[in-house]
Amino acid sequence: MTRNAAIVGGGHTDWGERDATWKDLAQEAGKATFDDVPDVGPKDIEGLFVGAVQPERFAFQSHVAPLVAELLGVEADSMIARTELACASGQAALRYAWLAIAAGQLDTALVVGVEKMHLPDGHGEEMQTSMSNVVDREFDGVNGLNAPTYFSFLGQRHMHEYGTTQEQLAKVAVKNKSHAANNPYAQFQMDIDVDDVLDSYPIAPPLHLFDCSGVTDGAAGLILMSEEKAREVTDEATYITGSGQSTMAGNSVNNIPSFSAWPQATVAAEQAYEQAGIEDPVRDLDVAEIHDCFSISEIIEYEDLGWVEKGEGGQFIEDGRSELDGDIAVNPRGGLLGCGHPLGATGVSQALEVHKQFTGQVESARQVPDSPETGLIHNLSGSASVHSVMTLGRDPQ
């Protein structure tokens, strides 16, 4: 049995360095989600999927899916799970909810992504140590390979092979942070220019502070329903039209296939495009939320998601093709660079943004023009060894 699944609404907390606890964030997101879909309440939820990366270390709490169910008054009498796939944990939760509905196991599901990354004062070192768990800790983490150093390798190699410039990287940060300036939930709401990026603190060449996403507390939620149920609730549902996921070669950095390309992103995108009937993504996609954890990431993703030839990503941003009025409006919510990156919540927030763009419920300054109807979300995770892609549309396939 295969059925269409639709997003009917969702909600968001403010993102940033919050005094709120992990439980507080889960409750805030849950309340915002149910407030957005008044015809669906906690008692209507049959399945609950919680994206959370390291609550055991960040919040000293495990077994968080039933905890969220209790906090939100959800019984989830058919299915319940926590998903953990590093930075793609939120999209993984969304994917499993979609598959459960498509398989006929559920009619209504709640997806919540939650991350509380800021520890009490004086515990910053513990937070940074915890972050090294998302790579191979024994071989990569203990040798100093953290996210900025790894992505600096990518930046250096891409510049060496294709002539990509620091100014092109900076343009990614300028675009996304400027979008975030019009997003009330974003952590970094600022209008900046290229010089601001290049003058910001150097982190790991060629990356400056403004080329890097932040450490963020935050949560987001979505309600998914079967097509039949969704039509009873709203005439503005967003349908999941395709999904792909791929990993290649291995998890440790010494086994990844390239420092300037992610072939696994290409495979995941092609899987999703085929399911969605997308033949030309530049022509067929209106809006995309992609994983700009560092500015170089977005440039590589332009290429490996099949939008331009290899080496042309820098020119894609320079020509304005990823602006709101460009070929594909990329990261209109501000991306990870502007919103911050609470690991388990990011993929959920991306899907919520595409849904809100479709329904015209975002601030006018960052609304994609001409009523977007097709979209994409993308996440990488770990040492970019796994890539996850999902396509979304106003109409079911």
Say how far apart CA 159 and CA 380 lie, in whole Å: 21
- Nearest CA among 146, 152, 150 for reference residue 207: 152
Instruction: Based on the residue annotation, tell me whether 212 is a catalytic residue of this protein.
Output: no
Say how far apart CA 179 and CA 23 lie, in whole Å: 29
Q: Kindly give the pairing relationship between strand 5-12 and strand 238-247.
A: antiparallel
Residues sharing a CB contact under 8 Å with residue 7, sequence separation 6 or more, in sequence order: 222, 223, 224, 237, 238, 239, 240, 351, 352, 355, 392
Residues sharing a CB contact under 8 Å with residue 95, sequence separation 6 or more, in sequence order: 243, 245, 388, 390
Q: Residues 118, 208, 291, 341: which is the catalytic one?
A: 341
Instruction: Based on the residue annotation, tell me whether 158 is a catalytic residue of this protein.
Output: no
CB burial of residue 201 (10 Å; 0-12, 13-18, 19+): exposed
Q: Which helix (H) or strand (E) holds 238?
A: strand 238-247
Say how far apart CA 98 and CA 106 lie, in whole Å: 9
- Nearest CA among 24, 70, 5, 33 for reference residue 349: 33
Give the count of beta carbons closer than 10 Å to the beta carbon of residue 364: 7
Say how far apart CA 197 and CA 191 lie, in whole Å: 11
Say how far apart CA 340 and CA 68 lie, in whole Å: 23
Pull the structure tokens for residue 300.
């590589």
Beta carbons of 113 and 89 less than 8 angstroms apart? yes
φ and ψ at 357, to 5 degrees?
-65, -45
Catalytic residues: 87, 341
